[in-house]
Amino acid sequence: MAHTFDELVEMQRLADEAHSRVLELGDTYGRPTATPWTAQQTETYETAWQHWRDLAAQAQAAVTAHAKEQDKPRFGIEAAVRAKAWHPEQAAA
């Protein structure tokens, strides 16, 4: 499926939000080797981690397809997507 540049940016934002959630859970729960997690904590963390990985994989695949369709270097597309996702105010200027 073809994605527009703005769709790629939104996919990156969603993956970044999911990653932030994983980091937040890790901070909240602490290291599992130092303070053993409950079964619920483990399940919550693993679910969030898998959700992040799925979104990130989808975003990466979409960037690859977009770069191929546009006949442009993938790295350039990815850099532009991340720049706009992370700093939308600079991209708008």
Per residue of the chain (93 residues), what is the pLDDT tens digit?
Answer: 678 999 999 999 999 999 999 999 999 999 888 889 999 999 999 999 999 999 999 999 999 999 999 999 999 999 999 999 999 887 554
SS3 87: coil
> In angstroms, what is the C-alpha Rg of the chain?
16
State pTM to two decimals: 0.88
Spatial separation of the C-alpha atoms in residues 70 and 49, rounded to whole Å:
31
